[in-house]
Amino acid sequence: MDTKDNIPDPLAPCFAALRDELAGLDTPRCVEKELMQAFGRQFPPKRPWHGFLSLPQWGAAGALCSLTVVAVLLALSPHQAIEVSGPPVIGIGGIEGGGAFVALDSLERIEAEPDARLVEAEVPRTALAPLGLPLSPDNAADTVRAEMLVAADGQPLAVRLSSIN
């Protein structure tokens, strides 16, 4: 009923009669409970979109996604070149043993040397310390078996360690 216009609602008498009829009816207390159970069986509640995984599964999925994102970002990020401060390592094919030589002279000089020869030698460990060979007071007097690439004038061009005592 609208109070502003004072227009009577045409359904108001019908609703009043219905209220009067229902006031006399007394339903048992368990009817609502049984009706709700029957409705729940007929129309089961839908699971929420996030309900198909448990909380630990969501945690594992989140960790996996985070690791994937980090791996992709690392793979796509620009990397700076890392400069090695030691002597360059060169590979010389055709020599038995197959290890890499550590260059003692410039690579241009090694490539330009026409009469380079391979010499086996016992080198003091102290002489190889600048190349990164570990040195301690206990092993400073030891020698290391090495193969050396030597120029025609006797100057060593590259070295390859055969055995470290």
Q: Would you say residue 69 lies in a domain?
A: no
Going residue by residue through the chain (165 aa), what tens digit of pLDDT does each one get? 455 556 678 889 999 998 888 887 877 878 888 988 999 899 888 877 777 788 898 899 999 999 999 999 888 887 665 554 555 555 544 444 556 788 888 888 888 888 888 888 888 888 878 877 777 888 888 888 888 888 888 888 888 887 765
**pTM of this prediction?**
0.39
Q: What is the DSSP letter of 105?
A: S
Q: Would you say residue 47 lies in a domain?
A: no
Range of the domain at 102: 89-163
Q: Would you say residue 144 lies in a domain?
A: yes
Question: Where is 144: in which H helix or E strand?
Answer: strand 143-150
Sign of CA dihedral 29, 30, 35, 37: positive
CB 102 within 8 A of CB 89: yes
- Count of the separate structural domains present in the chain: 1
Q: Would you say residue 51 lies in a domain?
A: no
Q: Would you say residue 110 lies in a domain?
A: yes
Q: Would you say residue 137 lies in a domain?
A: yes
Q: Would you say residue 49 lies in a domain?
A: no
Q: Would you say residue 101 lies in a domain?
A: yes
- Strand, coil or helix: 143: strand
CB 149 within 8 A of CB 101: yes
Cα–Cα dist 8/40, whole Å: 40
